[in-house]
Amino acid sequence: MQGETRGGPGSGKGTQCEKIVETFGFKHLSAGDLLRKEMVSDSEYGSMILDTIREGRIVPSAVTVKLILRELASGDSHKFLIDGFPRSEENRIAFERITGSEPNFVLFFECPEKEMVKRVLSRNQGRIDDNIDTMKKRLKVFEALNLPVVDYYAKKGKLHKINAVGTEDEVFEQVRRVFAQVSTVT
Ligand code: ADP
Ligand code: C5P
Ligand code: MG
């Protein structure tokens, strides 16, 4: 089973993915984490990834899909959750073309912009993109490139919207309900 989590920057995807892993045993793959790992490794893509993340833009799908596939191949889990991907129609189409598969379900964390900004600016993980200037750019990219993907999955009936405002546990209660639903149809 394959799931995906979407939602704007700072909406709480990573936080909820950790809870999903603990409770439902999925393998969690964060596209952003894979890119950051590649960025600090001795990779030929390092400086391109750094520039792209700093500008809040989307890394070309060829690179991101390669990292995801490498990670998928390194484990034996058949239940995985791809966090922060696809971020654009280009991401989605490349992944589907290369793997010949689609997610069984997509979780979308709805969060007001003001709350996302607040969470990102107090995340304190030393990320080069967690500053107000880059955050403004990320929000624009979110509107322009990410939302069309969300619409695509909504039309396919695969999108599950979660209200990301509330405590982590309150948000997770909604996630639980979605899992109860998707586990009976997949
Ligand atoms: P994303 O992966 O969507 O960018 P994160 O899971 O990293 O978001 O969360 C962004 C920040 O917000 C983190 O500092 C996290 O601890 C905090 N956070 C996550 N969920 C909530 C919540 N429900 N309420 C308040 N803060 C939250
Ligand atoms: O999901 P996360 O907040 O960790 O993503 C951080 C940054 O990584 C994004 O703003 C973007 O620059 C890059 N990214 C990407 N393609 C993805 C996921 C993340 O280019 N699919
Ligand atoms: Mg994250």
Atom of ligand 1 nearest to the CA of 171: 23
Is any atom of ligand 2 closer than 6 Å to the C-beta of 67? no
The pLDDT of residue 90: 97
Q: Tell me the per-residue pLDDT of 98-144, one tens digit each, with 9 for 90 and over.
A: 999 999 999 999 999 999 999 999 999 999 999 999 999 999 999 99
In the predicted model, is pLDDT for residue 2 greater than 90?
no
Residue 158: pLDDT band (50, 70, 90) is very high
Q: Which residue has the higher pLDDT, 51 or 73?
A: 51
Contact residues for 81 (Cβ-Cβ < 8 A; gap 6+): 2, 3, 4, 5, 17, 20, 21, 26, 27, 28, 29
Percent of the chain with pLDDT over 90: 87
In the predicted model, is pLDDT for residue 48 greater than 80?
yes
**Nearest ligand, CA 116:** 1
Is any atom of ligand 2 closer than 6 Å to the C-beta of 36? no
Q: Rounded distance, CA 31 to CA 159, Å?
A: 19
Residue 7: pLDDT band (50, 70, 90) is confident
Span from the CA of 164 to the centroid of ligand 1 (angstroms)? 9
Q: Rounded distance, CA 114 to CA 170, Å?
A: 19
The pLDDT of residue 120: 98
In the three-class reduction of DSSP (H, G, I as helix; E, B as strand; rest coil), residue 10 is classed as coil
Q: Tell me the per-residue pLDDT of 162-176, one tens digit each, with 9 for 90 and over.
A: 999 999 999 999 999
In the predicted model, is pLDDT for residue 155 greater than 60?
yes
Contact status, residue 61 vs residue 89, Cβ threshold 8 Å: no
**Nearest ligand, CA 84:** 2
Contact status, residue 58 vs residue 91, Cβ threshold 8 Å: yes
In the predicted model, is pLDDT for residue 79 greater than 60?
yes
In the predicted model, is pLDDT for residue 31 greater than 90?
yes
pTM: 0.95
Nearest alpha-carbon partner for 148 in 101, 87, 103: 87
Q: Whose CA is nearest to atom 10 of ligand 2?
A: 56
What are the structural domains of the chain? 2-185 (3.40.50.300)
The pLDDT of residue 186: 55
Span from the CA of 15 to the centroid of ligand 3 (angstroms)? 7
Contact status, residue 158 vs residue 77, Cβ threshold 8 Å: no
